Structure 1
Amino acid sequence: MENLVSNTPIINRNSRIANTLSNSVGLNAVNNALDVLQIQNFLKGLGYPVQTNGTIVNSQTDTTIISILNFQANNRIQVTGNIHPDDSTYNALKQLNSVSPSLAEGEDESLHQPFLTNSFLFRRSAGNANTLNVIFEGDSWLDYPVPRILDLYDTITDRNQSLNLNCLHLAKFGETTSQMYADRTHFVQYVSGYRIDRIYFSGGGNDVFPQLGRILNAGVTTFSSSFFTDQAKLTELRSLSGDALYQKCILYKRYLNTNTFDTALFNSTNLNAIFSTIMRNYLGFGSIVNAHCTPNTIFYMHTYDYPLFKLGVRPSIVGVDLPLGPWIKPVFDRLGIADEILRSYIIIRLLDRFYALLCQIKNHFGYYGYRFQSRIIDYRGLLNSSEYWRDEIHPNSAGARRLSTRVNF
């Protein structure tokens, strides 16, 4: 199913389509073919994904019904999935087609379905025993804020289509785990009110990397030989650059003297406080799940991958940088850390320690007998080329597809 994106509409001026609607169109409506065709042309003219064939398959996957729901949500019209002659939805469609506006996205600025539409569709199918009800909660890895770019939510749901997924998308780009937990109202509502089979959680990246300046100790600007246990491998690293260097740094991380390195580079007080906050928020969500779910529910957590390959590159749209990031390279520049090997192992160690934190969270769930199952999806080292990254910390569409191969609901 396509996601709605903001764009400039192309107005369909098909004179054969009457400017009046005779019967209702949409969910459980009359759906006269000529009326359906008129609505499809209006929606298509405003940039909504529909096929103009005059037919509707009365199900939640029908593109015309989905586009009607999206249109109603985007224009603050009661979300019903129905259009009647001269009702507010029909009048708005006629008016917008005549003035050629650009559509704005839904209430949470997500480029996925507006929450009103998404939650409506989720509720309709949540009681169906043949669906797999999945909640996605998290950050920009599940909610990338640029049109027509596949993020991990898109590619995971696409790859698992055979499972008849019924998905509720709660992720919002830029959120920390504390913001997610403070904004947990909908999460609680749906976990407590419906059978939830899977929960996919993406959280922690915004807790860590925007705080990099507090995490790093000042004064260490070059990679010391004491940080490495194999000097021949270190000499090899110093002969490399670009993708080849980053790939070998990942491969050779087992030669890092982690105790010496971590002591020299990281402010343990600040890093431990950040990790403690992340853990507290994960356990908070876990407690909510534990109170309402069953042993068949699976809670997925992921690691992120090492953002080495495009340091300093900001999110952009049609070549124009957005006012987002970068988050890592400016801190390195401010601290005078130009050594590419040192930069690489700072990032690698932070992500490896985050993985260890997720293991600690998973062990907590198990030790204290939480009723649900938990899984850690380890993405580290999978996006091992700049061809898989869109900006400093986000995978591009090809990278997201590559990541999704590790998610099997």
Structure 2
Amino acid sequence: MERIDRARLEAMLMDPDVPDAAIRPYLQLDPLETSAFEPAVVPNTARVAFAATEAAMALSSLNGIARWRRQQRYARKIRGWTGLKVVAEGDSWFQYPFLIDDVIDHLFDRWAIYCVSAAGDLLQDMARQEEVTVAVLSEKPDVLLLSGGGNDVLGGGALQKYLLRHDPALDAAGHVGPAFDGILNGTIGIYADLIERSLAAGAKRVVCHSYDYVIATGGRWLGRPMLAQGITDPHLQREILKVLIDRFHEALVGMAAGFGTRVSIADCRGRVPDSAWFDELHPTSQGFAFPARVILGAVEGMTESVFLAMPEMPVTERPLPAGEPDAAGQLLDADEEALIEEIGRRQAVLEITPEARDTLALDLPVAGTEAVRLPFRELGQTIVARLERELYTLVCTQEGAPERETLRASLSLPQSGLVGVLTTALIGLGCPPFLAPLVAAVIVKRGIAPVWEETCRLWADRLDQPAEPAPVGG
């Protein structure tokens, strides 16, 4: 792909007729500034040339530019428009700038949507800024779409406030501490207040949505807080997150009931395939099509069979894991030999500093010292071979183990997601968190097939194991 200069990028950004998909290759996520439901987008300096006197920070308002472009397209579309008019307010599920086609992108052609959403907004931000009230007063929409609460109950380190320390005697719900009730009740209270003000401003109908069952993949928002509490079993992690999403949905439904038929909830749970998640909190462009259809059905009164049967909306996917905010992408980009050497070096560190064992240092730099490369590399190779053999035993021969079924079901995830899933599995097998993400990255780089039987054959060839995995359902 050609490298462009800053002036060319700015011209593309300021022309609403240039589709986001054409701009997407020249942008990336900022791994330092990106947080839970607040993706921060910056120019990709590998594809955009800046003069010596220029700074990429001059384009740090790309999130705002994305919203401006959408509003410009709305202003042109609304002239003479006779179809459904919509105001949308929400978080990054409604406004993921440039890099992913979010819910509103999927619905924009069908309706005239005036979107005041901003990635990263908490519900209290939406209520305080009063943008939605002003938008309802000025645009007089047929429907108001609201997306919020995910950042309040899952983002910003929220899990660390209410998840309890792992206890094998507790089920998934038992690991959710009483502090969650306070966070959830506060969130729903702000939701109700925001809806009440919107209805008073003239909104005819309000449609909110629940979130889908997010997946912890060892990332900073879900995986690491769980690992910090000793919750390492991927199956238990998914069950806990399901409890949280279900309770959020139930609270939304209860709140909406107080407004009668004027407020409805689009149930987006269980819609996005495991392979269609971009990160721990956001689907991919194709993945967002599923909740978009559920919301479409709720707005237009369609039955599920009707909106699921609609033709797919064309979108342009962004390759993964390029631009991922988590360190998994950095590990996958690293040279395999350097990773193996680093594993050996870290094992040597553990022998001197055992307290480093429980450090989940996903984003430590991969580096080595040339003078001691061979001993570290040999040690690293030994560790990787041993742990890959243990994974093979778990996935390919231990029938009936719940964690085995979770691992098998996760093999179709993007590579960055696989690193997170294998990291938690390796920790469950006794691998120190200090080593686990690097070992997981090496195993993924060596090859993982979407179908577990094929993965077992790949591992069997490398490990000189029997080629035939155990039959399903044993």
**Normalised by the size of structure 2, how large is the TM-score?**
0.49
Residue aligning to 2:101: 150
Residue aligning to 1:201: 146
- The alpha-carbon deviation at position 395 of structure 1 amounts to 0.3
Distance 1:114 1:143, change over 3 A: closer
Letter in 1 for 2:241: I
Contact 2:88 2:145 in 1 (8 A): yes
Matches within 5 A, 1:241-256: none
Distance 1:351 1:401, change over 3 A: same
Alpha-carbon separation, structure 1, partners of 2:90 and 2:59: 18
Equivalent residue of 2:279, what SS?
A: coil
Work out which of the residue numbers 177, 190, 205 in structure 2 matches 1:267: 177
- The alpha-carbon deviation at position 206 of structure 1 amounts to 0.7
Distance 1:144 1:9, change over 3 A: same
Alpha-carbon separation, structure 2, partners of 1:380 and 1:113: 28
Verify: 1:300 aligned to 2:207, yes or no.
yes
Alpha-carbon separation, structure 1, partners of 2:142 and 2:58: 29
Matches within 5 A, 1:301-340: 301-308=208-215, 311-313=217-219, 326-340=220-234
Is the deviation greater in 102-111 or in 275-284?
102-111
Equivalent residue of 1:142, what SS?
A: coil
Alpha-carbon separation, structure 2, partners of 1:136 and 1:106: 25
Matches within 5 A, 1:226-245: 227=171
**Per-residue CA distance 1:306-357 (angstroms, 9 max, x = gap):** 112x5224xxxxxxxxxxxx21111111111112222111100000000101
Residue aligning to 2:45: none
**Normalised by the size of structure 1, how large is the TM-score?**
0.56
Residue aligning to 1:175: 121
- The alpha-carbon deviation at position 393 of structure 1 amounts to 1.1
Verify: 1:363 aligned to 2:363, yes or no.
no
- The alpha-carbon deviation at position 181 of structure 1 amounts to 1.4
Question: Gapped runs of 5+ residues in structure 2?
Answer: 21-50, 300-474
Alpha-carbon separation, structure 1, partners of 2:205 and 2:101: 24
**Per-residue CA distance 1:228-248 (angstroms, 9 max, x = gap):** xxxxxxxxxxxxxxxxxxxxx
Equivalent residue of 1:300, what SS?
A: strand
- The alpha-carbon deviation at position 107 of structure 1 amounts to 8.7
- The alpha-carbon deviation at position 125 of structure 1 amounts to 6.3
Alpha-carbon separation, structure 2, partners of 1:172 and 1:104: 19
Letter in 2 for 1:333: L
Contact 1:300 1:376 in 2 (8 A): yes
Residue aligning to 1:191: 136
Work out which of the residue numbers 226, 242, 246 in structure 2 matches 1:348: 242
Distance 1:202 1:106, change over 3 A: farther
- The alpha-carbon deviation at position 121 of structure 1 amounts to 5.7
Question: Gapped runs of 5+ residues in structure 1?
Answer: 1-6, 12-41, 51-61, 68-98, 228-260, 314-325, 367-371
Verify: 1:214 aligned to 2:102, yes or no.
no
Contact 2:126 2:132 in 1 (8 A): no
Residue aligning to 1:397: 285
Equivalent residue of 1:330, what SS?
A: helix
Structure of higher RCO (CA pairs closer than 8 Å, 6+ residues apart):
1
Alpha-carbon separation, structure 2, partners of 1:189 and 1:155: 25
Work out which of the residue numbers 9, 17, 26 in structure 2 matches 1:63: 17
Alpha-carbon separation, structure 2, partners of 1:105 and 1:196: 35
Alpha-carbon separation, structure 2, partners of 1:108 and 1:289: 28
Letter in 2 for 1:276: N
Q: Root-mean-square deviation (CA), in Å?
A: 3.6
Alpha-carbon separation, structure 2, partners of 1:120 and 1:63: 10
Distance 1:359 1:388, change over 3 A: same
Distance 1:119 1:404, change over 3 A: closer
Equivalent residue of 2:230, what SS?
A: coil
Is the deviation greater in 171-180 or in 102-111?
102-111
Equivalent residue of 2:85, what SS?
A: strand
Alpha-carbon separation, structure 2, partners of 1:49 and 1:208: 35
**Per-residue CA distance 1:173-209 (angstroms, 9 max, x = gap):** 122211221222x222121233111111111111111
Residue aligning to 1:382: 271
**Per-residue CA distance 1:116-156 (angstroms, 9 max, x = gap):** x65566567668561422111111111224x3421122112
Contact 1:199 1:299 in 2 (8 A): yes
Alpha-carbon separation, structure 2, partners of 1:215 and 1:45: 44
Equivalent residue of 2:114, what SS?
A: strand
Letter in 2 for 1:203: G
Alpha-carbon separation, structure 1, partners of 2:132 and 2:14: 29
**Per-residue CA distance 1:352-407 (angstroms, 9 max, x = gap):** 000101111111112xxxxx72221111111132x200111110111012222223
Distance 1:109 1:365, change over 3 A: farther
Distance 1:353 1:105, change over 3 A: farther
Letter in 1 for 2:96: Y
Letter in 1 for 2:214: P
Equivalent residue of 1:336, what SS?
A: coil
Equivalent residue of 2:208, what SS?
A: strand
Aligned length: 266
Distance 1:339 1:118, change over 3 A: closer
Distance 1:302 1:104, change over 3 A: farther
Alpha-carbon separation, structure 1, partners of 2:182 and 2:80: 43
Task: Determine what percentage of the aligned residue pairs are the same residue.
Answer: 22
Distance 1:293 1:63, change over 3 A: same
Distance 1:102 1:343, change over 3 A: same
Verify: 1:276 aligned to 2:221, yes or no.
no
